[in-house]
Amino acid sequence: MTISLLQRLTREDGAVAEFLVLLNQEADAMAQGRFMDLPLLAEHKSQLADRIAILRRHRENEQMTLGYGADRSGAEAAATAGGPLLQDAWRKLQANAAQAHERNHANGVMIHTHLDFTRQSINFLKSAGRPLYGPDGSHYSGSASGNRLAMG
């Protein structure tokens, strides 16, 4: 077993676990209607995704230094040859990465569902061909006269 590869797997897994926390925070924000939180979460996700990519490249370089391919099969071969600690670290990284992938997909579906609903609502409002409120604050209810909602 090589300590360096184990450390790289552990660091990469830690970053993926952090990414998973952000994904869960993103899902919670959407579920609770806190859409103003999303830009900051997206920024943090982007920064962490960049960091994960760098860590992955370092791990792949380490795999090649040890004589294994930089791809998934090379990582599996290196983990197998490295013994139980490397195998466990590799399995943990793969499990967290799969969970993050699934959560990211679910969040994407949630985002697109919200966007579709918003688009449909806007299109519905535009299809009426007239504004919902007049310049005096009257709400158009379908008849020629408006209902005043605000008195001033």
Q: Which pLDDT tens digits describe the chain residue by residue (152 residues)?
A: 688 999 999 999 999 999 999 999 999 999 999 999 999 999 999 999 999 999 999 999 999 999 999 999 999 999 999 999 999 999 999 999 999 999 999 999 998 887 887 888 777 777 766 666 667 777 666 555 545 555 55
Q: Which pair of structure tokens corresponds to residue 145?
A: 């006269």
Q: Which pair of structure tokens corresponds to residue 25?
A: 């925070």
Instruction: Kindly report the pTM of this predicted structure.
Output: 0.77
pLDDT at position 25 is 98
pLDDT at position 48 is 98
pLDDT at position 147 is 52
Q: Sketch out the chain's domains with CATH numbers.
A: 3-129 (1.20.58.300)
2, 13, 67, 140 from 88: Cα distances, Å: 14, 11, 20, 65
Q: Are 48 and 18 in contact (CB under 8 A)?
A: yes
